[in-house]
């Protein structure tokens, strides 16, 4: 079969392709984390809110908004190297009460259990006064000097450790965790907070070169 010049022209003509206009790319805008907490929040709520902030400026803003002495006591205990705990390092025996069930074991295991229970119940209401009768770091921080070198060195070690465990057992598990973390200076392993951020938020804190003790919510220098 002989193809004419016209046939060849028709066969070699390329089809025009139509390109659909590309839709503009849309980005989901992440809503900023609210800085509002319930009245008289737990210390762990404040630290959790600090951890959720992406910038140093926002972390500082949260710390300034919820500034109080018990929070500073915790942060000094953790970040000031001249504040030395005189309690054994590591895990602490813990017996907590939860809905009439007694739990015996390490505090870390108890915290994991408690958090799972919160997720299962969908209940994270943890502000104001604790309805389960727990005490708080806010109330107990006046006793922390007993666990620091230079605070109450004459106290028997067994008595000191017993007092420490008794305080932990009265705290909400997440507050108990904070106290244990500060005892071992490991707060930054769980919460995204640094000494630099704390120092900028609270320039009145004087760091290093001394031991700090706590007497009735008053920070005093021992040197």
What pTM did the predictor assign?
0.73
Instruction: Give CA–CA dist 69/91, Å, rounded.
Output: 26
Q: CATH says 43-221 is which class?
A: mainly alpha
Q: What is the mean pLDDT of residues 57-68?
A: 97
Predicted confidence (pLDDT) per residue in 89-112, tens digit: 888 876 654 443 444 566 667 766
Tokens of 99: 């809905």
Q: What is the mean pLDDT of residues 51-65?
A: 96
pLDDT grade for 159, boundaries at 50, 70 and 90: very high
Q: Where are the domains of the chain?
A: 43-221
How far lies 172's CA from each of 2, 11, 98, 213, in Å? 94, 82, 10, 24
Instruction: Give CA–CA dist 190/70, Å, rounded.
Output: 19
């Amino acid at each position: 079969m002989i193809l004419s010049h016209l046939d060849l022209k028709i066969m070699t003509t390329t089809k025009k392709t139509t390109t659909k206009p590309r839709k503009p790319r849309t980005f989901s805008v992440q809503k900023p984390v609210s800085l509002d907490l319930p009245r008289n929040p737990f210390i762990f709520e404040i630290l959790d809110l600090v951890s959720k902030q992406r910038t140093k400026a926002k972390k500082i803003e949260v710390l300034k908004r919820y500034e109080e002495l018990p929070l500073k006591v915790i942060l000094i205990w953790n970040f000031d190297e001249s504040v030395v705990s005189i309690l054994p390092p590591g895990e602490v025996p813990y017996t907590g009460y939860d809905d009439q069930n007694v739990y015996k074991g390490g505090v870390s295991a108890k915290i994991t259990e408690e958090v799972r229970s919160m997720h299962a119940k969908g209940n994270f209401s943890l502000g104001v006064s604790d309805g389960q009768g727990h005490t708080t770091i806010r109330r107990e921080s006046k006793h922390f000097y007993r666990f620091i070198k230079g605070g109450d060195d004459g106290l028997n070690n067994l008595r000191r450790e017993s007092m420490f465990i008794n305080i932990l057992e009265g705290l909400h598990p997440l507050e108990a965790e904070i106290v244990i973390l500060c005892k071992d200076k490991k707060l930054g392993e769980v919460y995204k907070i640094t000494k630099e951020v704390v120092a900028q938020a609270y320039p009145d804190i004087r760091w290093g070169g001394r031991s700090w003790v706590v007497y009735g919510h008053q920070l005093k220098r021992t040197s």
